[in-house]
Structure 1
Amino acid sequence: MTTEPNAVVLDGSSLKALAHPLRVSLLGALRRFGPATATQLGQRLGISSGSASYHLRQLEKAGLVTDDVSRGNARDRWWRAAHRVTELRGEDMDPADADAIDEYLRSVAASYTLVLQQTVNERATMPPDWRDAMDISDYLLRLTPDEAKTLAVRLHAVVREFRYDVPENRAPEDAERVTVVLQILPQPQGALEDGVTEDDPS
């Protein structure tokens, strides 16, 4: 799969740094809202500035956040995300990192859920054009693993045809930030709850 522009591909060190829901939230906030101090991030996420500072330093050690040298002073340290996109390539990871991958994905899933809930809650106050543009859809397909990978590649390619939310990309005046979440969720019969299969008539 092609690496996204300004992306970091997780290795064992950076994966372990992100295997914590608060760190995923901190990195996501910096990417979504731009540079901020630990105090500002703490207020946004409902945590103490000390806690925010500690977790930001762990992200810094992994190369995921860095100082914003264009801001701040001796009293206030400003942080920014070092990359716009995070990529996880499970097939390239050490099997010993399996638990960290699962913890990271749980944190990501929680952050996606929060964004979805916030967007739905704010839908009533959106301009009509944006209410009409919003879409939440799901499709139940029956695919092989190779077909699922092909689907992911094609969907990523479609998203790349559009304008990334980066400063160097000039956008029309009526453009707003849009979050696109891609989820391809295998659901093998053995993983279904209570042992019920799709062929069970009950």
Structure 2
Amino acid sequence: MVNDDQVRTLDAGALKALAHPLRVRIYDLLSERGPQTASSLATIIGETSGSTSYHLRALAAHQLIREVHDRGTARERWWERPRGRVNFPGPDETMTPASRAAAQIVTSEFLRLRHETLMEYINRPESAQPEGWKDAGLVMTTMLDITPEQMTELKNELSAVVDAAIERYRGQDSQPGTRRVTLRAEVFDLPAAPRRSTRDQE
């Protein structure tokens, strides 16, 4: 298993095991809401507990999730996503066609779920915001003109901020007043646009 300080890059087998929209959703829910049973996940997702149980076992077979042994009964098993960072490799020309297709499914579904979460936050009515959380969030987009070296430097700076936050707030999940939040950091180059000539700019 991956510990809190390691980054696990999913291999082809784990990618293929995760390459199902319902499994991505289950994995995401375990990250977002903590340990769940097949029944509780079925209620959230709107599936049968038999279906969620099947997909939980498939995820566990590749150590993407694990059973919480000190919780539950023989009839009701609890599952959790192990702590630690996971790298989901995107589609790559060096992959086999099957692995590339699996990577496409996984990355597309995670990004779709991420967008749904963002839109839910943006459209959430003020009355649904808990006290003190109304202006705590941040959604910001900007454009920069930089070199590859500068983007690498910026990526490392952002990663250091995220790593510091992870370490600072580690183990606070049971403290009063805390809520699970999602922290997103993205920096990537946009497709090259044709340069306008001097005459175009006049």
Q: Normalised by the shorter chain, which TM-score bucket?
A: 0.7 to 0.9
Q: Which runs of 5+ in 2 are unaligned?
A: none
Q: CA deviation at 1:145?
A: 3.7
Runs of 4+ in 1 over 6 A off after TM superposition: none
Kept in 2: contact 1:65–1:79 (CA 8 A): yes
Residue 113 of structure 1 deviates from its aligned partner by 1.2
Going from structure 1 to structure 2, the CA distance change for 1:164 and 1:92 (only over 3 Å counts) comes to farther
Q: Do 1:11 and 1:93's aligned partners in 2 also have CA atoms closer than 8 Å?
A: no
SS, match of residue 70 in structure 1: strand
Take 2:77 and 2:173, find their aligned partners in 1: how far apart are those partners? Answer: 29
| CA displacement, residues 117-164 of structure 1 (integer Å, 9 cap, x when unaligned) | 222233512146322121111112233444333322211111122245
> Is residue 162 from structure 1 mapped to residue 165 from structure 2 by the alignment?
yes
The 1:53–1:173 alpha-carbon spacing in structure 2 relative to 1, beyond 3 Å, is: closer
Pairwise CA distance, 1:59: 0.6
Q: Which residue of 2 aligns with 1:51?
A: 51
Q: TM-score under structure 1 normalisation?
A: 0.79
Match of 2:108 in 1: 106
SS at match of 2:86: strand
Q: TM-score of the superposition, structure 2-length normalised? A: 0.79
1:100 aligned counterpart, secondary structure: helix
Letter in 2 for 1:64: L
Q: Which of 172, 175, 179 pairs up with 1:176?
A: 179
Asked whether the 8 Å contact 1:41–1:52 carries over to 2, the reply is yes
* Greater Rg by CA: 2
Gaps spanning 5+ residues in structure 1: where?
Answer: 191-196
For 1:151, the aligned partner's letter is L
Deviations 1:167-195 (A, max 9, x none): 734786444322111222432137xxxxx
Counterparts of 1:3-82 in structure 2 under 5 Å?
5=5, 7-82=7-82
- Identity, in percent, stands at 30
